[in-house]
């Protein structure tokens, strides 16, 4: 019987979870001295590395003084909150990381609420204490107030505190202790996290909390063994959340050590393993002893709050840049995504159109970015929030929004959000000339606000939001106030014509860019759409006139990222996404058809 501890690392985005797990991996002696380890080793996906965020929860195991510690690194972004919630049910303790300067943030509240309600007692790690404006004492008080506000028990309020700088690889019990290594944190984990409660002698009970996919063995369920012993090759019963039961054989049993996965022959209660052999396995399903089946309670999964339409690209430039362009290819890829990403749902809408629903814009744009990198070409519509009926009342999702902004811009932010139906709940000075504003806002009101917010706060504001609840529909919400500059010709843009157009607004394209009728090349400075000709060349004459030879000065175009473009578009516009370009276009390319539809609406 080995001594096991199961912990999850939870925190707000960018408070240092993955870096801390790195430090624990390195200092536990899990890696051999000759192994090369990347920074943020747990962020394995290319997009995670580029953006510095964790998207999928991942698990690892380390050995320390004869104990095995299973660690699950969780995402900090609100769009992946469902992932965190499931993970918490699999562990016996959590490390709650809080930034020593930023303090408690919206996502901290979300994950703490879940952890306390399950009955876990967090170890609070005040991270980044080496920051110049760090104030660890204030942060510990904020965490205490948060726990008290969430109705924590007496025992939960007596939480242990560790001060750390994960990047520099040290932790301390008291602020004036010596800065040596992470040993105080290891000791705190062994001391305060209870050992798993299950028994190897009881009948088998395993529950799946996340999925993986392997081209050779199919679906893999990563699961915790609550009771009993599991062996490779044995027959067990799969009890699904909807009550269906079926028998199957465990073809592969995989254990974790550091970043490596290795096949093992058996594992017992308390451990976290990966199991293969069941085609229909899903998150929340139980694997139990067929002679004595006792399934565990299925998990509640949070429903999606936002949807977009993915469709085949039908623009004049369709098929020129991507490898996979047909409806069947797009459908197969989306179906494959749904096998492992249970927070998303897909419905086929006919005619090469698919409705994909998820927890927020980030989750949807990351899926789109992955498809784009794999050579897919497709179009996406404007995000819509999911409205549902309850007892005859229309309900829509509301978000808890926290904004940190320099004081000078606070008034502007409050005014703009007020137009988007936001209600202010709190306003606190943060020191350093910043103010923290808290709002409750319909999710619709946030679509398209981020780029406006960055402009209003001169790029210095920080905005975070997390799902609150469904509430009665709040009426219409103001959206984009500027019109679009729409191309009325097919061809390549010229510097000469763009120079004349740039006075009318902000351009999205530079010279020598392919454009087509109905493609949007910029944002108009007024509220109406304007048809422009971006391909007109200068008429050549054999006369030289003074002043006409002056160089053309073009303002650099605004770069479009997927997120920026997706929140900019309106209902009559769509995004054309290819491996090489992101273009914005009108749904109806022909200007006369556009006017006809505009009159009808």
Q: Which residues are annotated as a binding site for GTP?
A: 14-19, 127-130
Distance CA 63, CA 343 (A): 32
- List, in sequence order, every beta strand (DSSP E) within 407-497: 423-431, 434-442, 462-472, 484-487, 491-492
Cα distance between residue 10 and residue 231, in whole Å = 31
Which residues make beta-bridge pairs with 357? 307, 345
Q: Which residues contact 250 (CB under 8 A, 6 or more apart)?
A: 230, 231, 232, 233, 234, 236, 275, 276, 277, 287
Distance CA 533, CA 301 (A): 50
Helix (H, G, I), strand (E, B) or coil at 45: coil
Tokens of 378: 């497709």
CA 461 to chain centre: 20
- Residue 11 in contact with residue 17, Cβ under 8 Å? yes
Count Cβ atoms within 10 A of the Cβ of residue 235 and give its class: 0-12 exposed, 13-18 middle, 19 or more buried.
exposed
Residues 6+ apart with CB under 8 A from 504: 485, 522, 524, 525, 530, 532
Is the CA virtual torsion 23, 28, 33, 38 positive or negative? Answer: negative
Cα 382 to Cα 308: distance, rounded to the nearest angstrom: 6
Query: Distance (Å, rounded) from C-alpha 99 to C-alpha 81?
Result: 19
What strands lie across the sheet with 218-227, from one edge to the other?
Answer: 245-249, 235-239, 286-288, 205-214, 218-227, 272-276, 252-257, 260-263
For every residue of 137-151, DSSP letters joined together read HHHHHHHHHHHHHTT
Hey, CA dihedral for 487, 492, 496, 498, is it positive or negative?
positive
Please give the Cα distance from 40 to 166 (Å, whole number). Answer: 11
Looking up tokens 């000469």, which residue turns up?
A: 496
401 with 440: CB under 8 angstroms? Answer: yes
Which helix (H) or strand (E) segment holds residue 27: the answer is helix 17-27
Count of residues for the chain? Answer: 601
The binding site consists of: 14-19, 127-130
> Could you tell me the two tokens for 516?
């087509």
Q: Determine the 3-state secondary structure of 417 from DSSP.
A: helix
CA dihedral over 215, 219, 222, 226, signed as positive or negative: negative
597: which 2 tokens? Answer: 């539809």
Closest to 503 in 3D by CA, of 530, 477, 471: 530
């Amino acid at each position: 019987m080995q001594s096991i501890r199961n912990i999850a690392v939870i925190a707000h985005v960018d408070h240092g979870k993955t870096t801390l797990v790195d430090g624990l991996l390195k200092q536990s002696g899990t890696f051999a001295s000759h192994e090369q380890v990347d920074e943020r080793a747990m962020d394995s996906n290319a997009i995670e590395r580029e953006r510095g965020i964790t998207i999928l929860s991942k698990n690892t195991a380390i050995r320390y003084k004869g104990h095995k510690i299973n660690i699950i690194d969780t995402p900090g972004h609100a769009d992946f909150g469902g992932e965190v919630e499931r993970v918490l049910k699999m562990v016996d303790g959590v490390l709650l990381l809080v930034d020593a300067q930023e303090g408690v943030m919206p996502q901290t509240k979300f994950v703490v609420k879940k952890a306390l309600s399950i009955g876990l007692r967090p170890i609070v790690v005040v991270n980044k204490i080496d920051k110049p404006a760090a104030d660890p004492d204030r942060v510990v008080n904020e965490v205490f107030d948060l726990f008290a506000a969430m109705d924590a028990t007496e025992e939960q309020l007596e939480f242990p505190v560790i001060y750390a700088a994960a990047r520099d690889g040290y932790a301390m019990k008291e602020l004036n202790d010596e800065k040596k290594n992470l040993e105080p944190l290891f000791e705190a984990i062994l001391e305060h996290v209870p050992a798993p409660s299950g028994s190897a002698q009881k009948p088998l009970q395993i529950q799946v909390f996340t999925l993986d996919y392997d081209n050779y063995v199919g679906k893999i369920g990563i699961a915790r063994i609550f009771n009993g012993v599991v062996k490779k090759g044995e027959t067990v019963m799969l009890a699904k959340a909807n009550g269906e039961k079926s028998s199957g054989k465990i073809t592969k049993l995989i254990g974790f050590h550091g970043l490596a996965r290795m096949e093992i022959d058996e594992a017992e209660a308390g451990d976290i393993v990966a199991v293969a052999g069941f085609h229909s396995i899903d998150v929340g399903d139980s694997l139990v002893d067929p002679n004595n089946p006792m399934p565990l309670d299925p998990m509640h999964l949070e429903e999606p709050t936002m949807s977009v339409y993915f469709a085949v690209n039908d623009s004049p430039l369709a098929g020129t840049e991507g490898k996979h362009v047909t409806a069947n290819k797009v459908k197969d890829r989306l179906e494959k995504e749904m096998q492992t990403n249970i927070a998303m749902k897909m419905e086929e809408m006919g005619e090469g159109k698919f409705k994909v629903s998820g927890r927020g814009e980030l989750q949807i744009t990351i899926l789109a970015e992955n498809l784009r990198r794999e050579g897919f070409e497709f179009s996406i519509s404007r995000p819509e929030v999911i409205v549902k009926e309850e007892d005859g009342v229309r309900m829509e999702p509301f978000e808890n929004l926290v904004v940190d902004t320099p004081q000078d811009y606070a008034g502007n932010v409050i005014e703009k959000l007020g137009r988007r139906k936001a209600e202010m709940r709190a306003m606190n000075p943060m020191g350093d000339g910043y103010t923290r504003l808290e709002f409750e806002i319909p999710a619709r009101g946030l679509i398209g606000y981020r780029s406006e917010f960055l402009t209003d706060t001169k790029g210095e504001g920080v905005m975070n939001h997390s799902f609150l609840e469904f509430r009665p529909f709040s009426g219409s919400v103001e959206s984009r106030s500027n019109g679009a500059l729409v191309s009325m010709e097919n061809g390549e843009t010229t510097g000469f014509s763009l120079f004349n157009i740039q006075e009318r607004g902000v351009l999205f394209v530079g010279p020598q860019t392919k454009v087509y009728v109905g493609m949007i090349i910029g944002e108009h400075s007024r509220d109406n759409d304007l048809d422009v000709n971006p391909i007109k060349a200068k008429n050549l004459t054999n006369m030289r006139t003074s002043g006409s030879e002056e160089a053309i000065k073009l303002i650099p175009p605004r770069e479009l990222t997927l997120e920026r473009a997706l929140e900019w578009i309106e209902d009559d516009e769509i995004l054309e996404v290819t491996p090489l370009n992101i273009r914005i276009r009108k749904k109806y390319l022909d200007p006369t058809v556009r006017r006809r539809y505009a009159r009808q609406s």
